[in-house]
């Protein structure tokens, strides 16, 4: 991708960018795909209607300090966690409503499910709330939680920490976790779409996975940088990961990933991939790189569609809308972008 100038990037013909003036921590669409929100390091959340990107972008001060985490909320809008220890809902119209004030420690990870489950990780605790904002329970972990995930049904919670991960049931009357153990520090975490596996990214620049049926371990190593972003493809055949100078995809079929080599695509120019996001319906993956390049790759063929050229700062956020017609990205230097990939 070194001759970037000669390549037609989709952003030029089908996209819009704005400079929001602060590190883009995360991007997320609402569940209905109508609104898109960017969470920033200055505590603001910027929202727009995906269908009208040229219109007004509503800016709201959601947190004092930085926004540290953002996801689609259980019902409307997005859910954010921040420096100020608060959990905030930002509506499609761009209004911020406090869901919970959890104390002085950073709320570093959030997750939500349409079944009416919201999670906020703060220090060693994961707070579980319902759609109305009522605190259901507080789950304690042996060390600071590095990441949280809900399974596809919204019934199980996976939280990573030092020396492994814990699996909890949202509806359990007595909270006893299943501990998945593996020595080392675990951060980013993902549930396989069919609920069969949990995978974490580790401090030691490798991934670790567990097959939940029998607890079998999976070690996936060889990364030159830390993996911060994990994304399963729509049907769960592939796990796309950041942390290498290509998009590294592990096969979760045909006996894999145990004993199988990963597939690498979009590599070759020694720039580290920082974010990945699998298309919500097709076997395609969007990837963002340290130099600001965004691309879309077809997993089967390895064919690449350039989305945004390098130069606007390292990619720090990537998000699809639920139908996969729009891709949003954000950068460390404060650029936010939206590209319309719908058939015309």
Partner 1 sequence: MSDTPRETVPVTVLTGYLGAGKTTLLNRILTENHGQKFAVVINEFGELGVDNDLVVDADEEVFEMNNGCICCTVRGDLIRILAGLMKRRDRFDGIIVETTGLADPAPVAQTFFVDEDVKKATRLDSIVTVVDAKHLAQRLNDSREAEGQIAFADLILLNKMDLVSEAEAAVVEEKIRAINPTVEVIRTTNSAAPIASVIGRDAFSLERILAREPDFLSGEDDHEHDSEVNSMSFEVSRPIDPEKFNAWMTELLANKGQDLLRTKGILAYPGEDRRFAFQAVHMIADGDYISPWKPGQERKSRIVFIGRDLNRPQLRRGFEACQVEA
Closest separation between CB of residue 179 and partner 1, Å? 17
Of 45 and 50, CB closest to partner 1: 45
Of 184 and 222, CB closest to partner 1: 184
Q: Which residue has the tokens 């220090």?
A: 123
Closest separation between CB of residue 31 and partner 1, Å? 26
Of 41 and 236, CB closest to partner 1: 41
Q: Which residue has the tokens 């409503």?
A: 97
DSSP state of 343: -
Closest separation between CB of residue 37 and partner 1, Å? 16
Contact criterion met (CB below 8 Å) for 73 and 30: yes
Closest separation between CB of residue 169 and partner 1, Å? 27
**Where does this chain bind partner 1 (CB under 8 A)?**
22-23, 25, 41-42, 65-66, 68, 83, 104-106, 108, 123, 143-144, 146, 162, 183-185, 202-205, 225-226, 270-272, 290-291, 314
Question: What are the strands of the beta sheet with 67-72, ordered from one edge?
Answer: 67-72, 78-82, 86-90, 96-101
Of 317 and 341, CB closest to partner 1: 317
Q: What is the DSSP string of 242-309?
A: -SSSSEEEEE-STT-STT-PPEEES--S---EEEEEE-SSSSEEEEEETTS-EEEEETTT--EEEEE-
Nearest to 144 by CA among 171, 108, 175: 108
Closest separation between CB of residue 23 and partner 1, Å? 4
User: Distance (Å, rounded) from C-alpha 73 to C-alpha 144?
Assistant: 23
Of 146 and 262, CB closest to partner 1: 146
Closest separation between CB of residue 11 and partner 1, Å? 20
Closest separation between CB of residue 210 and partner 1, Å? 16
Closest separation between CB of residue 30 and partner 1, Å? 23
Of 35 and 44, CB closest to partner 1: 44
| DSSP3 helix / strand / coil % (the chain, rounded to 5) | 0, 50, 45
Residue 6 phi/psi, 5-degree rounding, is -90, -5
User: Distance (Å, rounded) from C-alpha 104 to C-alpha 281?
Assistant: 39
Tokens of 193: 């779409």
DSSP state of 237: S
Q: Which residues contact 176 (CB under 8 A, 6 or more apart)?
A: none
Of 22 and 286, CB closest to partner 1: 22
Of 172 and 272, CB closest to partner 1: 272
């Amino acid at each position: 991708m070194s001759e970037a100038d000669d390549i037609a990037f989709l952003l030029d013909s089908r996209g819009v960018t704005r400079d929001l003036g602060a590190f883009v921590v995360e991007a997320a669409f609402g569940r209905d795909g109508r609104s898109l929100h960017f969470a920033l390091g200055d505590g603001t959340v910027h929202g727009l209607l995906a269908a009208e990107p040229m219109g007004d972008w509503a800016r709201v001060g959601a947190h004092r300090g930085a926004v540290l985490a953002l996801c689609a909320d259980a019902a409307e809008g997005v859910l954010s966690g921040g420096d100020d220890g608060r959990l905030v809902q930002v509506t499609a119209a761009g209004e911020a409503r406090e869901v919970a004030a959890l104390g002085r420690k950073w709320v570093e990870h959030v997750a939500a499910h349409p079944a009416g489950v919201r999670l906020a990780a703060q220090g060693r605790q994961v707070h579980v709330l319902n759609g109305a904002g009522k605190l259901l329970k507080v789950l304690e972990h042996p060390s600071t939680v590095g990441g949280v995930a809900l399974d596809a049904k919204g019934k199980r919670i996976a939280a990573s920490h030092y020396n492994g991960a814990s699996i909890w049931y949202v509806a359990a009357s007595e909270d006893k976790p299943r501990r998945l153990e593996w020595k080392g520090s675990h951060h980013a975490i993902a549930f396989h779409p069919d609920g069969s596996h949990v995978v974490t990214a580790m401090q030691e620049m490798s991934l670790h996975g567990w097959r939940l049926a029998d607890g079998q371990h999976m070690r996936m190593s060889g990364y030159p940088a830390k993996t911060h972003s994990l994304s399963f493809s729509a049907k769960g055949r592939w796990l796309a990961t950041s942390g290498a100078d290509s998009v590294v995809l592990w096969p979760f079929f045909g006996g894999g990933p145990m004993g199988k080599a990963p597939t690498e695509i979009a590599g070759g120019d020694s720039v580290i991939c920082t974010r990945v996001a699998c298309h919500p319906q097709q076997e395609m993956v969007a990837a963002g790189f340290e130099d600001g390049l965004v691309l879309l790759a077809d997993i089967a063929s390895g064919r690449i569609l350039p989305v945004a050229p390098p130069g606007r700062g390292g990619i720090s956020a990537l998000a699809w809308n639920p139908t996969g017609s729009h891709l949003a990205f954000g950068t460390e230097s404060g650029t936010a972008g939206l590209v319309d990939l719908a058939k015309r």
